[in-house]
Amino acid sequence: MFKKTLAFSMAFIGLIVGAGFASGQEALQYFVAFGTDGIWGAVLASVFMTITGIAVLQLGSYYQATEHTAVLGRISSRVTSWILDIATVITLFCIGFVMFAGGGANLQQQFGLPTWIGATIMLVLVLLTGMLDVDKVSTVIGAITPFVIVFIVGATVWTLVTSNPDWTTLDLASSAVVTSLPNWWLAALNYVGLSIMTAVSMAIVIGGANLDTRAAGLGGLIGGFFFLLMLMLLVVALFVSVSTVGQEDMPVLALINGIHPVLGVIMTFVVFGMIFNTAIGMFYALGKRLTRGNPARFRPVFIVACLIGFGLSFFGFRDLVSYVYPVLGYMGILMLVVISVAWIRGREKVSTEGRRRLRARVLLARKLDPRKRYTRKNQRELQRLVKESNVPDKKFIEALEEDMTSELLADDEIDYDPEDPPVNLVYVEHTKPVGPDEQPAAEAPEARPE
């Protein structure tokens, strides 16, 4: 379960810690621009982000969703769901083409390359990765995230340790940062709304690809903690350095270049990786949504969306962050309210379903393990759990099998053939010899009363 939880948390952080975060541009405009009040804004934003991360991942897992309307349509009215769906589609596309602009700005600031070169490289990488399935896309997103955490934490801690800030001067310097947001607390809510609009579609898909709702919830909690740590370090470090990095497109890159030029070169590629993380998450989820009724058209729709976004990316990264992001953030506040309320009201159902799925995994593991005895009583209980689940029977069985495949293959003592998995729930009884000093395998504990 720990590996699943960690995978959830890394993938979630990878979605919300995108180009704006890794570059520092979001932190400048949403928090540093308000001086010391912006630090309180970062705390407020982190608390809401943690709650919403748990809710989104658990709801995706609970409904076994393959795209965001599978959840939004179940937790809100038809009109609200339609508004949120349109807002999500707009957000996916807008954030996607802002990422192309970020790729160009990143390489331009470090190497002086024309912006179209970085944007083109980003386009090619996104197109190639988009041909993979959702599990591989999630793996790619999660794999890059630890590098960003290490670099951002390292650079910000170094900046804080070596700086000797004059807080009065810093407040004055931070007022020179251009932002379109009115005050620190609304900026914090807008930031969470923006992040949720950015992450919700792909986060629902990632949650829906896993059956374990508890792992999903813990993944959101751990992801929220790491997000709090990174955001606070980043905001404070940029605040104490605002007089030197406040006008840069990539302020974090400027911080690291100040430590050592070689680290700046490495960070260039790390930031580029995070920009890629967000770009693939946006366009992949957008393609899935637009082809909901005809999945076979995913690839051509995905390619066309990426090409259109590439064309729109040449308006400039900093300007796009300044004007596009706040509009998306205001739309995201509605999403934040709907998802949080639905999760709070449905927590008991989600918890009950989580226990049901966990028990089903235990029974299925017993059924597939020739070392254990699988009785008719176990079989009836497993069939009952499948029937009682909120997921359709066939889909539940398929998800349960997929969820356990890697675990079974990793156990050398279990003869498991993934090409012919015995998961049809037909009764099979495993027995083994019982000698004078040997007792039959103990029965699995009964399911907890619902």
pLDDT value of position 426: 44
- The Cα–Cα gap between 262 and 16 comes to 27
CB 425 within 8 A of CB 376: no
pLDDT value of position 417: 54
- The Cα–Cα gap between 294 and 298 comes to 8
- The Cα–Cα gap between 435 and 428 comes to 22
- The token pair at 188 is 């914090």
What SS3 class is residue 372? Answer: coil
- Give the distance, in angstroms, between the CA of residue 127 and the centroid of all CA atoms in the same chain: 20
Complete DSSP assignment for 421-450: ---S-----------TT--PPPPPPPPPP-
Neighbours of 318 (CB within 10 A): 20
Which ranges constitute the DSSP H helices of 67-129?
69-75, 78-111, 115-129
- The Cα–Cα gap between 189 and 392 comes to 37
What SS3 class is residue 220? Answer: helix
- The token pair at 170 is 């810093």
CB 253 within 8 A of CB 25: no
**Sign of the dihedral through C-alpha 102, 242, 48, 1:** positive
CB 172 within 8 A of CB 250: no
| Domains along the sequence of the chain with CATH | 2-345 (1.20.1740.10), 346-450 (no CATH)
In one letter, which amino acid is 112?
A: G
CB 37 within 8 A of CB 193: no
Q: Residue-wise pLDDT tens for the chain (450 aa)?
A: 677 777 777 777 777 766 567 778 889 989 999 998 999 999 999 999 899 989 999 999 999 888 778 888 888 888 888 888 888 888 889 888 888 988 898 899 888 899 899 999 999 999 988 887 656 665 666 676 677 778 778 888 898 888 887 777 888 888 888 888 889 999 999 999 988 887 787 788 888 888 888 888 898 899 888 888 888 989 999 999 988 888 888 888 888 888 888 888 888 888 888 788 778 878 988 888 889 888 889 999 999 999 999 998 887 777 777 888 888 899 889 888 999 999 999 999 999 999 999 999 888 888 877 788 888 899 999 999 999 998 888 888 888 877 776 666 555 555 555 555 544 554 444 444 333 333 443 333 343 433
State how far the alpha carbon of 327 is from the alpha carbons of 6, 35, 245, 283, 406, in Å: 32, 22, 25, 19, 43
Neighbours of 65 (CB within 10 A): 22
E-strand ranges in 245-399 read none
Neighbours of 360 (CB within 10 A): 25
Q: Which residue has the tokens 């998995």?
A: 421
pLDDT value of position 444: 36
> What is the crossing angle of helices 298-312 and 78-111, to 10°?
60
State how far the alpha carbon of 286 is from the alpha carbons of 199, 200, 236, 431, in Å: 12, 11, 34, 50
- The Cα–Cα gap between 369 and 224 comes to 37
**Sign of the dihedral through C-alpha 283, 289, 290, 295:** positive
In one letter, which amino acid is 73?
A: G
- The token pair at 224 is 């929220």
Comparing C-alpha atoms, which of 351, 318, 242, 258 is closest to residue 20? 318
- The Cα–Cα gap between 421 and 402 comes to 10
- The Cα–Cα gap between 240 and 238 comes to 6
